[in-house]
Structure formats: structure tokens, C-alpha cells
Amino acid sequence: MERIIKLELGRLNVHLPERRISLREALSSPKPSVRTRDGSTHFFKREELESLSKLLPETDWDKLQLPILIALDPKLGRGAARISGEPEARVAGKILNKRAAGELLIYRPEVAALRRELPTTTQYLFM
């Protein structure tokens, strides 16, 4: 049973990148993108990258990894999600007007607001 669940989670997460890239790397690329686990390419909108760059000091551009992962974990409760990583949580916190330190717990309306603001630079991670 556990093996089947892991297999299904793997299928749900094929949209995730094989490797995440830093904000600096994305900004310096002529076509900012990542290769996904299913072999396709996920492109980032330049406007979103520039918006993110204004939310962080340039010294943190190498630390922010894209896409920002919104982890949907049943252990968190219905409608809750987690954003891990200090710069990722800080950026999401600034957009949502919430304090964040290392990790940010958000709820369904906030997930929707964050995805509206950053549709190409955020992705869901199913746990």
C-alpha cells in the first residue's frame, strides 16, 4: 500500500523541476526556465523574476531557489501549506504581509493569493 502511495505521489509531482535554479541564474538567462521531471520545460515570466528581485537584497538572489515550492501536506491540516527555505518564506511573507523565519505556514486563501501574484515562479509539491 505504501509503495502505491509513493508511486502516485511521484505521478502527481512530475511537473516539478529536476533541478531548481537561483533567482540570479534566472535573471541572467535569456529564456529563464527549468527542465521538469517529465522532460518538459517550465518557463518563468521575466516580470515575476523582476518583482522577486525587488523583494530581496541582491546578496540573497543566489539563495532564493525557483520555483518556490508550496508543499501541500495532509499532516498540516485541510487547506494548509508550507513554504520552506529562508529566502522563499521571506518573499512569500512579504507578498502576503506575514512574518516568516525559515518556514511559512499558509492557508488556502493565501495559497491562492500567492499563486495569483507568482503563477510561474511557484509550484505545488504534493507530500
* Domain boundary assignment for the chain: 2-126
**87, exposed or middle or buried, with CB in 10 Å at 0-12, 13-18, 19+?**
buried
pTM score, whole prediction? 0.90
pLDDT of the residue at 8 = 56
pLDDT of the residue at 2 = 67
**Prior bond of 67 cis (ω within 30°):** yes
pLDDT of the residue at 5 = 55
| Number of neighbours of residue 62 by Cβ within 10 angstroms | 12
Residues of the chain short of pLDDT 50, as ranges, are: none
pLDDT of the residue at 127 = 84
Q: Which residue has the cell 502505491?
A: 4
